[in-house]
Amino acid sequence: MNGLEQQSWNVALLQMDIAVGEPDANFAKLQRMLEEAMEHKERPDVILLPEMWNTGYALERIHELADEEGRRTEAFLGEFSRRRGVNLIAGSIAEKRADGVYNTILAFDREGRKTADYSKIHLFRLMDEEKFLKSGERAGTLSVDGTDAAMMICYDIRFPELARKLALGGAKVLFVPAEWPHPRLHHWRTLLTARAIENQMYVVACNRVGTSGSTDFFGHSMVIDPWGEVLAEGGESEQIVRARIELPLVSEVRGKIPVFEDRRPALY
């Protein structure tokens, strides 16, 4: 990989509608959207998917629908990332393990290798996650083409201490798959922007669209730079949201406003 590729990424966010309780339909749709993403003139270096894209919030049936140890997802997306030479932050899936079902991100490099995973730490009571899912027990970190990055899922962005921990650990880009619903669009935009500004890093967040039961999801997938400037934002329909991020900007912003060096954690 040459220096230019390491300095910047084209990112693509697959803002998809999710067929609740229909993994086969969702895998088929994802296949089409992935191929479409790779055919664009600005070929993506990194693709991000939304939260729980394999099943949606079919929580009453989640034990029968969840991907056993993530095997189907890993086989499918590992092959795609290898064949197409692209990094995949595979949103999150319902992943069944021996002790229960987790809301888990899987990440793959350009060679199709699974490089990281992260299970959602903060379960969202308003959607009964805690009744059906197990919570993760560690923060989500990964390396993408040699750059330190991090992962959070949806409700996690309401916990600034987690984002700060990840930033202090060296993350320059935070990936956030989500199923964030109406009427909290203002919260979505504000929290994502705050996480970018306060931690001086890129935030790349992919939200679903469509309806699940009585809940409407608004999309507005976003890419925000370390100054808090919105580089790209989706609408409320299914689409691929694209942006180019310049990784040296993170160090530039952190040098100009030395927030990390000026912290006084002993006082708080």
| Residues involved in catalysis | 51, 120, 154
Give the DSSP H/E element, type plus range, for residue 47.
Answer: strand 46-48
Do 130 and 120 contact (CB within 8 A), yes or no?
A: no
Select from 106, 37, 36, 54 the least CA-distant residue to 78. 106
Sign of dihedral through CA atoms 189, 38, 84, 102? Answer: positive
Give the C-alpha separation, 15 to 222, whole Å: 10
Give the C-alpha separation, 27 to 53, whole Å: 8
Give the C-alpha separation, 139 to 225, whole Å: 22
